[in-house]
Structures are given as structure tokens and as C-alpha cells.
Amino acid sequence: MDVNKNSYTFGFAAIMVIIVAALLSVAYIQLKPFQDRNVELEKKQNILSSVGINVERENAEAIYSTYIKRELVLNNKGEEVEGIAFDIDLGKEIKKDVNVQLLPLFISEVDGTTRYIIPLRGKGLWGPIWGFISLEGDLSSVYGAVFDHKGETPGLGAEINTPMFQEPFAGKTIFEGEEFTSIAVVKGGVTEGDMHKVDGISGGTITSVGVSDMLSERLTMYLPYFIKMKPVFEVDSVFSAMDSVTTVNDSIIN
């Protein structure tokens, strides 16, 4: 048999491609349910860890339902709308127009303390980055934050999923007085006592900037809800709450 004939070459290529395609398709379909399950459990694990509960992936399911009391879907006016918050794919949602975006919000109750968990999604250097940030009942102080990424450089940008990067977020605030400031990830050291900045990663500047942008973009979307909720917490300072409405609105317009 002459293996260098054109017809043989074409035949060989065609058969090889079909075999490889079939093999990979079967592998993909068979493994998909296992992979989806991993992703779902990891999301639950991440949501829990943003409120300080670290669990093994296998136990995430059961513990999730104990601590996460409510799951809301909001629109950008801060109103509750129909939907299942957990199933919202933020990757698709952030590509939509801001007026039709659905905003998931998870409310946890741990030892009697209510915290608000906001899912995040943005761009890193090589691909998407995401995370969850949990706010205290005052909707300004950060209780905890977790981040993860699809393919940031190991040792550099990928460090955003380590405690070294995440822990400094705790205790920061996203409002200065009544003005929304978000939290910036900065290069070259944060002065002590700065409530709105955390240290970036050496060699991971673009990923660090991505985290900054993601926080400010995502949190801004929830501002109308925060403003609506604020009077509930600050019943005794109705006037200052009303002031905050104008200030925050100004900051959105600017």
C-alpha cells in the first residue's frame, strides 16, 4: 500500500478526524454532569467563604442551605424581580444593557447577624475573574471577599484567590460618609487607616486593576438597592439618609 498517494492521505485525514471528534464528544458528554456539579458546589463554597464559613466542597450543599437565608434577584432600580438568583449567569448578564440586567443578591444569617453577599464578575488579564463580597448590615463595611479567575498567571494575577490578597478587604468600607467610593486595589502600599484601598499584587497589575474595576462597576449597580435599604437601618437618621440619596445619585451621574 502506498501511503503517499493523495487518495490515501485524504482518507487517512478524514478517518482520523472523525475518530478523534467522536472520542472527544463522547468524553465531553459523559464528563459534563460531573464538571457542572463541581462548578455548582464551588459557587456555593465561594458564597459561604465570603461570609467566613470555610467548608469542604462535598459539604457545601448542606451547609449552604443552613446559612443562606434568602436569594433575591434585583433590577438596576433596586426593585425585586422574579427569578432564581443562584442560576443567574453573571458572565452573560454583564454583557446586557444595564437597564435589563438581573442582579443576584444573597442574604446570609450567621449567628444572628445578617450579611449581604454580592456576586462580582469582571475582566482579568487572560480571561474572566469573579468573586463574592459580603457587606455588613450597614451595607458599607466589608465583612469578607473572595475572588477567583479562569486563567490568570500562576504566582502573579492568580494570587487574587489567596487569603493574602483577600483578607485585607475585611473591614474596609465602600462608602465615605454618604458618598460611594468602592474599594481600589493599588500599587505600592496602602497608607494605614485608608478605608477604601487594598494592596495590589506585584507583577499582577492588570489583574489588580481588573479587580478594582469589577468592584466599582458591580457595586454601582446595587446602589439604588442600598439606598432603598439604608433607611431601614438608620431609622433615627432619616435626614442623613435622604441626603445620601442625592449624594449617591450625583456620584452615579458623575
Partner 1 sequence: MSKDSLFSKKNIKLLSDPLNDNNPITVQVLGICSALAITVQLKPAIVMAISVMAVLAVANVLISLMRNLIPSRIRIIVQLVVIAALVILVDQVLKAFVYDVSKELSVFVGLIITNCIIMGRLEAFGMANGPWESFLDGIGNSFGYAWILIVVAFFRELLGSGTLYGYPVLENLGLYELGYENNGMMILPPMALITVGVIIWIQRMKNEKLIESK
Q: What is the binding site for partner 1 (CB under 8 A)?
A: 3-4, 8-9, 12-13, 16-17, 20, 23-24, 27-28, 31, 34-35, 38, 42, 57, 126, 149-156, 158, 202-203
Q: Whose Cβ is closer to partner 1: residue 152's or residue 178's?
A: 152
As measured in angstroms, the least distance from the Cβ of 12 to partner 1 is 6
Q: Whose Cβ is closer to partner 1: residue 40's or residue 71's?
A: 40
Q: Where does residue 177 fall: left (phi above 0), alpha (psi -120 to 50 degrees), or beta otherwise?
A: left
As measured in angstroms, the least distance from the Cβ of 201 to partner 1 is 10
Contact 140, 173 (CB under 8 A): yes
- Residue 217's CB is within 10 A of a number of other CB atoms, namely 16
Report the distance separating Cα 152 and Cα 88, nearest Å. 24
As measured in angstroms, the least distance from the Cβ of 209 to partner 1 is 18
As measured in angstroms, the least distance from the Cβ of 51 to partner 1 is 22
Q: Whose Cβ is closer to partner 1: residue 11's or residue 177's?
A: 11
Find the distance separating the first CA and the last CA of the chain, reported in whole Å. 75
Q: Tell me the three cell numbers of residue 120.
A: 462580582
Contact 196, 182 (CB under 8 A): yes
Q: Whose Cβ is closer to partner 1: residue 34's or residue 239's?
A: 34
Contact 54, 46 (CB under 8 A): no
